[in-house]
Chain A
């Protein structure tokens, strides 16, 4: 029932971005008179989810960096300063790489649709 591997990869980032976009989207719908009040409840809940996920990921990264550096400091005292920078750089690079990958994948699919025609649907056929 669940396509892909939930929680990992660019899928997680994609849904977080979509959740962060929901208030903007809903505000546009409200401004044009297309929004129903009860939708704001869902928007708020998904925003809480997304912000909670981002905070927890940041917290986990911070905790890991602290833990790793503490371990390294114990065993390799002379390199402790450079290790702090290293873990920060690795975490930031991973996040940027994931967002960049997501952007490239979306760009490819949006470009592809310009070159591939949709098949004509016949009654009782979906292909």
Chain B
């Protein structure tokens, strides 16, 4: 095996709040990279567990803000004062990387027009109904939607759990804004508004720990759904002038509203008052979802895992619909913005 290369141009940021159980795996996967970063900064966001001790045990730099920053974005912004390299990478403290992930992702930034790049995301553990649902959701989205978005040069989000950025452009865009609950979406759309490019590199794979129970999942879904709506509110004027992104966002918004209403209200009502056959509406697109999922699963040798997980996708999708409608109702009708960042991933 060849010696790993060292990149003097890259700093990795790992925001961590009480991540003692997962941080070691993340740091271990960083040490096993084919391209090693110049520096790894773990931002111990005033944890009450042994997060900082674990980080120090790996010989990385540990930063500790004077008080809890309140969000992942806040912790990352704090660390930006210490970044001296040309490129900055953000990785979640519960995310491990495939050994060549950094090397592959960095290649995208050879193109000077590209400000950020993100990789393929797959759950590290696939056991509970929630993890299985998420596994299918990711296989579907990252094998069908996201490559198409990338082909048209507008990936919807450079995922916050594993992305690399040009440091100067990141700073010029105000780093990670705390005005929405989805700082990665906010940053990606800001890049597009400033005529900068973002790439999706499917060969660069990362494995976050996904919520394994409803309590954990609900916090994440609440944050993501509110984050999406908040970003539409913040960026809508700019979005209208960004080709492809405007269509992708309006269609996502349409589906978030109307597909959710159909899922939660129309189908049950029609099933009760017209015909029980309308219940088939919940599963009618199952083969359509299965095609990209099984193609990707076959490529990874995970066909049985994907088949066993497929039913969980429909459970997660129904729950997702509830959180989407709730977010739209609270943000737009009640004008009650979600401002507290609850850790859910």
Contacts and interface: CB of A to CB of B under 8 A. Distances in A.
B247 A14 contact: yes
Given A49-B144, A106-B247, 7 more contacts: A5-B321, A7-B285, A9-B254, A9-B259, A45-B295, A64-B284, A126-B235
B135 interface: no
Interface string A4-46: 1111111110110011001000000000000000010011011
Nearest to A87: B277
Query: What class of interface size applies to chain A in its complex with B?
Result: 35 or more
Interface of A: 1-12, 14-15, 18-19, 22, 39, 42-43, 45-46, 48-49, 52-53, 56-57, 59-60, 64, 68, 101-102, 105-106, 108-110, 112-113, 116-119, 121, 123-127
Nearest to B295: A49
B255 A11 contact: yes
Interface in B141-169: 141, 143-145, 147-148, 151-152, 156-157, 159
Contacts, number: 168
Interface in B243-296: 246-256, 258-260, 262-263, 277, 280, 284-292, 295
B314 to A, nearest CB: 9
B240 interface: yes
A15 B288 contact: no
Given A8-B317, A46-B148, A126 B186 contact: yes
Nearest to A114: B240
B288 A56 contact: yes
Given A4-B252, A117-B237, A126 B144 contact: no
B127 interface: no
Interface stretch (B28-36, B41-49, B63-71, B189-197): B189-197
A11 B288 contact: no
B148 A126 contact: no
B238 interface: yes
Contact of A118 (B143, B159, B237, B247): B237
A46 B291 CA distance: 11
A124 B174 contact: yes
A41 to B, nearest CB: 11
B228 A46 contact: no
B172 interface: yes
A46 B151 contact: yes
Query: What class of interface size applies to chain B in its complex with A?
Result: 35 or more
15 contacts: A3-B185, A7-B317, A8-B255, A8-B262, A8-B317, A9-B251, A9-B255, A11-B251, A15-B145, A45-B295, A49-B291, A52-B292, A56-B290, A57-B287, A126-B190
Contact of B147 (A46, A53, A56): A46
Interface of B: 121, 137, 140-141, 143-145, 147-148, 151-152, 156-157, 159, 172-174, 177, 185-186, 189-190, 193-194, 224, 228, 234-235, 237-238, 240-241, 246-256, 258-260, 262-263, 277, 280, 284-292, 295, 313, 317, 320-321, 324
Nearest to B275: A68
Dominant SS among interface residues on chain A: helix
Given A2-B141, A18-B152, A49-B143, A9 B258 contact: yes
A126 B186 CA distance: 9
B161 to A, nearest CB: 8
Most chain A CB within 10 A, of B152, B224, B284, is at B284
Contacts of A109: 240, 246-247, 250
Contacts of B263: 5, 8
B151 A22 contact: yes
Closest 5 CB pairs of A and B: A126-B190, A56-B287, A4-B252, A9-B255, A9-B259
B322 to A, nearest CB: 11
A104 to B, nearest CB: 10
Nearest to A55: B291
Contacts of B320: 5
A105 B254 contact: yes
Nearest to B121: A1
